[in-house]
Amino acid sequence: MKRILTITVALLISMFILGCSAISPQETTTTEETTADTSTFNEIHDVDDLSAMAMNQSYVLMSDLDLSGMEWEPLGGFEDPFIGHFDGNGHTISNLTITTKNTDFNGLFAVMNGYVFDLTLEDVSIDYSTSFLTYVGALAGKIEGGNVENVDVSADINVSNASSNTFAGLLAGIVQAHVTDTMTPDEFVANHVTNTTLSGTLDVMSANYVFVGGLSGKTYNTELTKNTIDVTIAALANEHRIYAGGLSGHNYSGLLVGFEDFVDETAILISENTVTAVFDIRAQGTKAVVGGFIGYNDYGNLIDNHVDAEMTVSGNDFTIGSLVGEDFHGEIERTLSTVTLIVTNQPDSISVGDICGFVTDDTEVSLAYYILEYDDEVALSNGEPVSNSELQTETFYRDNLGWDDVFDLTRLTGLYSE
């Protein structure tokens, strides 16, 4: 009973955090537990087979599918998420197109709680307007407790929201672990997104809050490893906040913190990810929090990550870091962020940090190297500067970051030799 009580306390805390982030209470509602058949894989040969998928079955894609000329209706929904396994089998689904709101969740899947792997989504085009809370990504509007591995995405996503909040990412609008109100700490398992390659554009206008990131608008108690992202992000908020990052706009990873007596490890890692990003952030509302890697990070363990970004910002109030915009209780280790920041008008308030624009006292930063090209004052310094010439030699990455087996050092040295 004590252990159930402790995880319930954690749930209450997490619900508070979600509420502070202006996420709908819908996020914390658990659906009835059902099981999926993950031993039998039904074959998908054509578009009709794909459209007719049952959400509690498993599937294997047997050929490339071209969805040109049709309006895609996302599979499943909040009450009926996909909970099976989907084996892309190395095949490609191309030209998925969505031009109407459908439900609150838009992507190949509306909501995905299963396992998707070895799949390519090519030339996804999502472009719609809404006046309601919306979640959008090429793979799914929402991933809850689902795992993603070896998925490649190229997508252009454009959302205009006249009166509510928007969560947008190339992979998913939001990615979060599955938690129930009776789960004990030792029963919790973080979900995983690993070995994805994501490229494309995100153009989001929202009257209220914007959560936008190259992988996902928000990530919640999710391990993110070995993902490669190349994204262009344009975001506008008319009334409230923007959270924008090359990987994730808003991240929370602290569900197990405080329960060390019940689990072997409380850290939920975000590691070995590389991001190339271009930002155009227009904050007409209350504030924008922008990081080359993550906009807002709470308890995230960011280890062995690389960012190269260009940021153009305009508006009222900004907190900006080359790696993280705002960091609460996080751990940052062995990172490299190289960022050019251009401010097109002088905001009422702007705080720029070489690594983080804001940190709490217990945030731990070590071996965080950076290049920040910015014409004005840096308000917070907690990183280690590095020169472009140093980044042209593999020796730097080996000796300072230990990245021999983490990233392609030839690619990195070439990036800074151009």
Where exactly are the structural domains of the chain? 2-386
Distance separating alpha carbons of residues 315 and 286, to the nearest angstrom: 9
Residue entry with tokens 């042209």:
392
Q: What is the predicted pLDDT for the residue at 7? A: 44
User: In the numeric block, which tokens belong to residue 382?
Assistant: 């907690």
pLDDT tens series, the chain, 418 aa: 334 434 444 443 444 334 344 333 334 444 445 788 888 999 999 999 999 999 999 999 999 999 999 999 999 999 999 999 999 999 999 999 999 866 789 999 999 999 999 999 999 999 999 999 999 999 999 999 999 999 999 999 999 999 899 999 999 999 999 998 899 999 999 999 999 999 999 999 998 999 999 999 999 999 999 999 999 999 998 888 999 999 999 999 999 998 998 998 899 999 999 999 999 999 887 889 999 999 999 999 999 999 999 999 998 889 999 999 999 999 999 999 999 999 997 777 889 999 999 999 999 999 999 999 998 889 888 999 999 999 999 999 999 999 999 999 999 999 999 7
Yes or no: say if 308 and 336 are a contact pair by the CB < 8 Å rule: no
Name beta bridge partners: 206.
161, 237
Kindly report the length of the chain: 418
Distance separating alpha carbons of residues 44 and 222, to the nearest angstrom: 29
pLDDT in tens, 236-291: 988 889 999 999 999 999 999 989 989 988 999 999 999 999 999 998 878 899 99
Q: What is the predicted pLDDT for the residue at 418? A: 75
Q: What is the predicted pLDDT for the residue at 36? A: 84
Which strands sit side by side in the sheet containing 134-136, from one edge to the other? 105-106, 134-136, 166-169, 210-213, 241-245, 287-291, 317-321, 349-353
Yes or no: say if 187 and 231 are a contact pair by the CB < 8 Å rule: no
Yes or no: say if 150 and 197 are a contact pair by the CB < 8 Å rule: no
Buried b (16+ CB within 10 A) or exposed e, 158-169: bbbbeebbbbbb
| Whole-structure pTM value | 0.92
Phi-psi region of 334 (alpha: psi -120 to 50; beta: other; left: phi over 0): left
Yes or no: say if 199 and 156 are a contact pair by the CB < 8 Å rule: no
Yes or no: say if 363 and 330 are a contact pair by the CB < 8 Å rule: yes
Q: What is the predicted pLDDT for the residue at 19? A: 37
Q: What is the predicted pLDDT for the residue at 35? A: 83
Q: What is the predicted pLDDT for the residue at 102? A: 63
Distance separating alpha carbons of residues 262 and 301, to the nearest angstrom: 20
